[in-house]
Amino acid sequence: MGVTLGVVVLTMGNRPAELTALLESVRAQDGGDSGVRTVVLGQGVKLPELPEWVDAVELPENLGIPGGRNAGVERLRELGGTEVLVVLDDDGLLPRTDTFRLIRDAFERDSELGIVGFRIADETGFTQRRHVPRFGASDPMQSGPVTTFLGGGHAIRLSVIDQVGLFPAEFFYAHEETDFAWRALDAGWRIDYRADLVLQHPRTDPARHATYYRMTARNRVWLAKRHLPAPLVPVYLTSWALYTLVRRPPVSGLKAWWSGFFEGVRVPCPPRRPMRWSTVWRMTRLGRPPVI
């Protein structure tokens, strides 16, 4: 059987048809559901009727994306037998039936591989620029080592979580993957982007919500304060502020962004564990120095 997988899906209960389709695509993977624990967590909502092979967990409240994933990790640990966590968006779909086999093969081949990020594509196969985890958004069909991964579809070796800790629940939404990725890189793990691991996902624009601007800005500040060497903190935050202004968000979005930025400056989000300078150099060699 090889590496054992466990699947975690978070839902707000508002996409029952999409969730059903996703679970059907999980069941359709090579070997069916044999050896794959699948946990669906309702974020403070009552779950719809789910297949009997799915472990349904109704959380008492919405814990946010990182908090919900952490609850999923803890549930998989209670069930036992999982070596690699697979996280999938509830409105996603696995269009290929060999995805789980490819994940197992990747982790079995390389003991230093800690995280694998999927390629997110819409129903036409198009991948949005923001879904390519490389600076400059180069060819989405190019696989290789990267410095972060996408939350909608990824796989993490549980021993990485054991070593570096869970997702930062305080973030609630946005940049929790980057926070986790930086800790994993600093611990010596590798992150790969795999174009052949596809999660089909509707094309969306996260900037349609004011909450996006506020939490994006706040969490960027927390990310820098938690993990960057002191000299890089102002460089990183200045570059992101300039990038935001160049993109010319709407006035309401810009107000929410600055509100979140100063919230991040004002409110602490411990612990502070700055990465090693060798990790900064490693990220630079991978094409994404932690100042951009």
pLDDT, tens digit, 9 for 90 and up, residues 86-127: 999 999 999 999 999 999 999 999 999 999 999 999 998 888
Closest Cα partner for 70 from 179, 147, 148? Answer: 179
Residue 46's CB: how many other CB atoms inside 10 A?
8
CATH number at residue 55: 3.90.550.10
Same structural domain, 196 and 242: no
Q: What is the average pLDDT across 152-163? A: 98
Same structural domain, 41 and 184: yes
Same structural domain, 196 and 214: no
Is 291 among the domain residues? no
Question: What are φ and ψ of residue 200, in 5° steps?
Answer: -75, 130
Closest Cα partner for 147 from 171, 97, 182, 180? Answer: 182
Of the residues 165, 200, 235, the one at which a domain ends? 200
Q: Which residues pair with 43 in a beta bridge?
A: 59
Is 292 among the domain residues? no
Same structural domain, 141 and 121: yes
Is 115 among the domain residues? yes
Question: What are φ and ψ of residue 79, in 5° steps?
Answer: -70, -30
Is 182 among the domain residues? yes
Q: What is the DSSP string of 64-75?
A: HHHHHHHHHHHH
- H/E stretch holding 25 reads helix 16-27
pLDDT, tens digit, 9 for 90 and up, residues 265-283: 999 999 999 999 999 999 9
Residue 253 lies in domain:
207-285
Same structural domain, 95 and 187: yes
Angle between helices 277-285 and 176-186 (to 10 degrees): 110
211 pLDDT band, cuts 50/70/90, is confident
Same structural domain, 211 and 176: no
Is 290 among the domain residues? no
Is 112 among the domain residues? yes
Same structural domain, 162 and 215: no
Residue 292 has pLDDT above 80, yes or no: no
Is 154 among the domain residues? yes
Angle of CA points 62, 10, 16, to nearest 5°: 105
Instruction: Please tell me the distance from the alpha carbon of residue 144 to that of residue 195, in angstroms, as a whole number.
Output: 9
Same structural domain, 233 and 163: no
- H/E stretch holding 210 reads helix 210-227
Which residues touch 94 (CB under 8 Å, ≥6 apart)?
22, 25, 26, 28, 29, 88, 198, 199, 200
Same structural domain, 54 and 17: yes
pTM of this prediction? 0.95
Same structural domain, 84 and 105: yes
Of the residues 167, 200, 233, the one at which a domain ends? 200
Number of domains forming the structure of the chain: 2
45 pLDDT band, cuts 50/70/90, is very high
Of the residues 141, 167, 200, the one at which a domain ends? 200
Same structural domain, 241 and 189: no
Instruction: Please tell me the distance from the alpha carbon of residue 264 to that of residue 268, in angstroms, as a whole number.
Output: 7
Same structural domain, 132 and 217: no
Whether residue 290 has a cis bond before it, omega within 30° of 0: no
